[in-house]
Amino acid sequence: MAERGSVHNAATDALFEAILCLKNKEDCYKFFEDLCTIKELNDMAQRLQAAKMLLDGKTYEQIVKTVEISTATISRINRCIQYGPGGYHEIIERTKQKD
């Protein structure tokens, strides 16, 4: 059994398997609009945008002005980039290679 608070569990595995079945942006829009609120989607998009800016060397002040999120959220994203499992960095690099 997964520890309390862990994201590694059967329900999350099922969610990720569903996400891996998405074939294109239109599939993503349909699925995520059903799954998430508009605010949740916007929050995730803002976090990714802030992560990109942090990795590009932008300051918190520049990010707050551009993305309009709190410095507390930027700090959390920065901690994930510095000490997390590398998800932001890996996905941002993949999207750069795709462009």
pLDDT in tens, 35-62: 999 999 999 999 999 999 999 999 999 9
**Residue 4: predicted pLDDT:** 58
- List helix spans (H) across the chain: 10-20, 25-35, 38-55, 60-67, 71-83, 87-98
Residue 93: domain span: 10-98
Percentage of the chain exceeding pLDDT 70:
95
In this model, does residue 1 exceed pLDDT 80?
no
Residue 4 lies in a domain: no
Residue 5 in any domain: the answer is no
Total domains present in the chain? 1
Classify residue 3: in a domain, yes or no.
Answer: no
CATH of the domain at 92: 1.10.1270.10
What is the crossing angle of helices 38-55 and 87-98, to 10°? 80
